Structure 1
Amino acid sequence: MTSVPAAAATIPPPNKKTVYPHPFASRVAGRTKRRLGDHFGLTNFGVNLTELAPGAVSALLHHHSKQDEFVYILEGTPTLVLDKAEYALEPGDCVGFKAGDGVAHQLVNRSHEPVIYLEVGDRTEGDETSYPYDDLKAVFLNGGWQLTHKDGRPY
């Protein structure tokens, strides 16, 4: 943690690439997050500089019960998936996801170039993340994500 300015690209990604359990972790294998907010000790919200390799996805299609999210595209041309609708994005585009609206979302890099974007989300205790097409449930408790099957069984 520091308050000294840093070049975002020099902040190393965490050793653990994802909180997703097997078999879901492989689906985000081409994603790299640099946890900028954590680097500066921020606790109320997170800021990530995220890169998607060609063919990679940002996350499993999901929505949050309590967490607002915001994404700003810096480089590349990802596809935004909102439930069953899709939108082509380009640098300078942004999108917000309101907590509790039930609209599932993810970014997909269908291009041949990397996609780089900033993502911002709050860290509301008790947030539940729903995955409409996967047997997965995530709850944010005690400062971290707890992931289970939808029926509550652990992975």
Structure 2
Amino acid sequence: MKSIPVAAETIPPPDKKTIYPAPFASLVQGRTKRKLGDHFGLTNFGVNLTHLASGAVSALLHHHSKQDELVYILQGTPTLMLDKQEYLLKPGDCMGFKAGTGVAHQLVNRSAEPAIYIEIGDRTEGDEVEYPQDDLKATQLASGVWALTHKDGRPY
């Protein structure tokens, strides 16, 4: 935990790029997150500075049961997938994702240039994440650790 201002780009990304199991982990290979909130010891919400390389996705298409999220585009033109709708975003655009609505979302960088955005999410306990297009479910355990299983409950 640091107690002085720093340039966000100097905060190193974590060694582990994703909690997704194979075969899903490879889908976010072009994504780099710098966990700004964790760097400062924030516990109520997370803040990430995220880079998406050309062709990369932010996450699998998903929605949360309890945790809200918000993205703010700094650079590039990622496409927001919102259930079956698509929206081309540009710097200065933002979108919030209210938990419990069942509306799935993800960002896809279809452009030739990198996309950079801030992502903010709360850390409400007991969250579950549904992935409507994939055989994956994430459940947040009491310890805060995420358990990833097939939709029928079998572990990966």
TM range, smaller chain:
over 0.9
Match of 1:38, SS state, is helix
| Structure-2 residue corresponding to 1:58 | 58
CA RMSD, Structure 1 to Structure 2 (Å): 0.6
Is 1:95 paired with 2:65? no
Structure 2 distance, partners of 1:50, 1:145, is: 20
The runs of at least 4 consecutive aligned structure 1 residues that moved more than 4 Å come to: none
Gaps of 5+ in 1: none
| Structure-1 residue corresponding to 2:129 | 129
Match of 1:19, SS state, is coil
After TM superposition, the score normalised by the length of structure 1 is 0.99
Gaps of 5+ in 2: none
Match of 1:33, SS state, is strand
Is 1:79 paired with 2:70? no
Query: How many corresponding residue pairs?
Result: 155
Structure 2 distance, partners of 1:144, 1:75, is: 31
Alignment of 1:141-152 (within 5 A): 141=141, 142-152=143-153
Contact 1:77 1:90 in 2 (8 A): yes
After TM superposition, the score normalised by the length of structure 2 is 0.98
Structure 2 distance, partners of 1:31, 1:139, is: 22
Structure 2 distance, partners of 1:140, 1:92, is: 32
1:11-63 residue CA offsets vs partner (Å, 9 max, x unmatched): 00000000000000000000000000000011110000000000000000000
